[in-house]
Chain A
Amino acid sequence: MSAPLGKDLLGLEHLSAEQITLILDTAEPLREISERAIKKVPTLRGATVVNLFFEASTRTRISFEFAEKRMSADTVNVATSVSSVSKGETLVDTAKNLEAMKIDMVVIRHASSGAARFLAERIESNVINAGDGTHEHPTQGLLDMLTLRRKFGTLAGKRICIVGDVLHSRVARSNIWGLTKLGAEVAVCGPRSLLPTAIADFGVQVFDRVEQAIEWADALNVLRLQLERMTAGYIPSLREYNRVFGITRERLDRAPRDILIMHPGPMNRGVEIDSEVADGPHSVILDQVTNGVAVRMAVLYLLAGNAPALAEAARKATSDD
């Protein structure tokens, strides 16, 4: 019997290795649906999903929307600039009003860390975190893990180095939690000004030089360098960042083995990653995008209808076995 996920997906920190594996194993066969002539299964017919995005996002929102539509859910997108949020309505008021219109699930992206949990504790609907502040972006972590697992066969013992602005990155946190739970070795590499001071508490290695990371790793997850980090004084200049930490072909040519290159997007070509690498033979950046839809379909499938009553029934069914 499968381990139920519960009502919400808020992060990977509190999921077990078994639960993460269940999501990845479910995503695997769902990839096939997007290859069909009719890219749709009736699984979530009648379920209403609200994509509540308080922060700009193209890729994640579209990926969720495709996932929802391919599972036959009805979807509504709420963007903050055109909603009552811009008139000062609180997060909970917005969600409660949506719930009064009988919705089933909320996908939330918010600039504040913890916003997804705050909401999940206050509404009945399933809540999926699509990125909250610098906390977590669980579906991105899961799609990175699915991409790596498909390439390597397993994550156990594989060495993944996250390169760049780890300090502000929810993608980095979800990756670290998820990958270490499934037995991968994780390292981070970047300027000390962009690494959390307590990074060692995560149980990851730290490389100060990107050459060391390349020497060590089986895969690099290259993070986007937010351009505003320069004006805020975290790095001296983009050119210098590229010279010291940029992933270039010259650097990868010196690697002792082929290294998979991942990037959560959107990329700053010529800053954290060179075009030759991004479009090169070891780049799996577009695989990540494809896998993202499958992972989100899996999460929707596993959470949908998992209201408290059903979770209770699930617990009983599992213990009866």
Chain B
Amino acid sequence: MPWTHIPQRMATAPTVVLNARALERTVARMADEIVERADGTEQLVLVGIQRRGVQLADRIAHLISQRENAAVPRGALDITLYRDDLQTVGPRPIVGKTVIPWSIDGKTLCIVDDVLYTGRTIRAALDELADFGRPARIMLAVLVDRGGRELPIHADVVGRTVDVPPGGRVDVFVSELDGRDEVTMVIAGEET
């Protein structure tokens, strides 16, 4: 993307928070924790948030099915139409696919997302899931918790907690979409 203005602060180079190996270990631990918290796989369903939460949910579901020898249903949720800022954002955000082909009534549902920040995405996800049914319980698993919550929302399973100062950013890359597995952090308001 073209540079259209000079950054206010000196930009720092992105710091690697998780490399590919570390990301793999972290996701494996999250899979174990999810099964533990869900008391097994019987009622468990995973729902990934578009976009990178979907790929993470796929990986976690795959790991669980290998370790527990049980298939875990997984779906995808796009929360765009439930956002609370649609009246103020400029061009309309692209709407992604929502795929929840089974009943979620009575299930232990685990939402999977890449980064937990303000909590507004999860608020929207909870509202959207309520339109699909009434799970017995909803958990939240995130690869990175970067702090900065604006709503009373917390994650049950966290891959890595990082303290990102205001203006900073966390980027999650997954090989399915980005060609590599990596989590990076940028401290100052740098444009990439």
Q: Which residues of A contact B (CB under 8 A)?
A: 1-4, 25-26, 28-30, 32-33, 36-38, 40-43, 71, 301-302, 305, 310, 313-321
Q: How many A-B residue pairs have CB under 8 A?
A: 65
Pair A319/B4 contact, Cβ less than 8 Å:
yes
CB distance from A19 to the nearest CB of B (A): 11
- Evaluate contact between A32 and B99: CB separation under 8 angstroms: yes
Residue numbers of B with Cβ under 8 A of A are 1-2, 4-5, 78, 81-82, 86-87, 90-99, 127-128, 131-133
A-B contact pairs, 22 of them (CB 8 A): A1-B91, A2-B94, A4-B91, A26-B92, A29-B96, A30-B95, A32-B97, A36-B131, A37-B132, A37-B133, A38-B132, A41-B82, A41-B131, A42-B82, A305-B86, A313-B90, A315-B90, A317-B90, A318-B91, A321-B1, A321-B2, A321-B4
B97, A302: Cβ atoms closer than 8 Å: no
Contact partner, A301, options B87, B95, B128, B132, Cβ 8 Å: B95
Question: Nearest Cβ distance between residue A217 and chain B, in whole angstroms?
Answer: 31
In terms of DSSP, what is the predominant structure of the interface of chain B? loop
Kindly state the separation between the CA atoms of A317 and B4 in the bound complex, as whole angstroms. 11
User: In the bound complex, how far is the Cα of B99 from the Cα of A321, in angstroms?
Assistant: 31
Which residues of chain A have C-beta atoms less than 8 A from B91's C-beta? 1-4, 314, 317-318
Instruction: Determine if A26 and B132 form an interchain contact, defined as CB atoms under 8 angstroms apart.
Output: no
* Residues of the B chain whose Cβ atoms lie less than 8 Å from the Cβ of A310: 90
**Closest-CB distance, A309 to chain B (whole angstroms):** 10
- Find chain A residues with CB under 8 A from B95 CB: 26, 29-30, 301
B98 and A32 within 8 A (CB)? yes
The interface residues of chain A lying within 8 Å CB-to-CB of B82 are 41-43
Give the shortest distance, in Å, between B128 (CB) and chain A (any CB): 8
